[in-house]
Amino acid sequence: MTVVKKYLSLVKFSHTIFALPFAMIGFVLAIKQGNISQQEDARIGWGIQFTETWQLILAKLLLVLVCMVTARSAAMAFNRYLDRSFDAKNPRTAIREIPQGIISPNSAIRFVILNCLIFIAATYTINPICFFLSPVALFVILFYSYTKRFTALCHLVLGLGLSLAPIGAYIAVTGHFAVLPILLSFTVLFWVSGFDIIYAMQDIDFDQSNKLHSIPSVLGAVNALRVSELLHLLSAVTVVSAGIYGGFHFIYWIGILVFIGMLVYQHRLVKPNDLSKVNIAFMTANGIASVVFGILVIADLLLF
């Protein structure tokens, strides 16, 4: 296994598909609605106006992607570093890179620091508000790794970390907050929190025996699924609210049907007494929800 593959595996790079489409929605939304000049504008197809040249737009897109990848990589590697003793004892996670000795703890923490530094440097290049908010973003995403030690609300902290994606991308272009990307961030918050509860159901016995906190270990499988359903209902409400508030067109609403359909589908797959399809619910259903929704929303923004 090459060094790159080791670290991609450590941070589960494929899971980037959950938040990245929402970051791209925030970015495109900002380009279309956030920075329209009253003077000589640069134009492309679909009637979109820019105050910046194509070169600067592409540069900002690259910087947003760098921020997304490095922030998430730092958070995941730190989580693996901090949980290494628990991972070694849990049969489900004992095959991870640090317990297996594939990556040393010291190497993992150096990787975390490197990604944090790149993230901060990228935000400095984007604009002042992104730079000043970068420590806040890093605190949220790194703090999550501690939360399972003292609160069952750890799932909401994870959701909060990923929910920064659409807001962050929007601010990267505009330099200010807006209601619509905040609504989309709430969608991500409730969505991620809900599916993380489903994923955590695999470790109910381990968490209870090791005094780790999660909603499934505290409330049990049946009630945990009810909480997950409630969070996903809230996610559906906020994504519909975003569609109404933003005045989107039919393509967005097709995306909503897919997104909500995948929420319902994963709850049909997972039962309190049958967790055999948790990974399908976690990766496949949520991956489809995020990617297809992201593509359709961006298409709606570009075409209308």
Beta bridge partners of residue 274, listed in sequence order = 271
- State in Å, rounded, how far the first CA of the chain is from the last one: 46
Q: What is the pLDDT of residue 165?
A: 96
User: What's the confidence (pLDDT) of residue 51?
Assistant: 52
Reduced to 3 states (helix: H, G, I; strand: E, B; else coil), residue 32 is helix
Q: How many Å apart are CA 63 and CA 69, to the nearest integer?
A: 10
Q: What predicted TM-score, i.e. pTM, was given to this entire model?
A: 0.92
**pLDDT for res 40:** 37
Mean pLDDT of each 10-residue bin along the chain, 304 residues long: 85 87 96 54 42 72 95 96 96 94 96 97 92 96 96 97 96 92 98 97 96 96 97 98 96 98 95 89 91 97 93
CA Rg, the chain, in Å?
20
Which fold would CATH assign to domain 3-303?
Tetracycline Repressor; domain 2 (1.10.357)
**In the prediction, which pLDDT does 35 show?**
52
Question: What one-character-per-residue DSSP string does 77-98 give?
Answer: HHHHHHTHHHHHH-TTTTTSTT
Q: What angle do CA 28, 32, 36 make, to 5 degrees?
A: 140
Exposure letters 189-228 (e unless 16+ CB within 10 A, then b):
bbbbbbbbbbbbbbbbebbeeeebbbbbbbbebeebbebb
Beta partners for residue 43, in sequence order: 49
The pLDDT of residue 57 is: 81
Using an 8 Å Cβ cutoff, are 288 and 262 in contact? yes
φ/ψ of 50, rounded to 5, equals: -125, 150
Strands (DSSP E) found in the chain: 42-43, 49-50
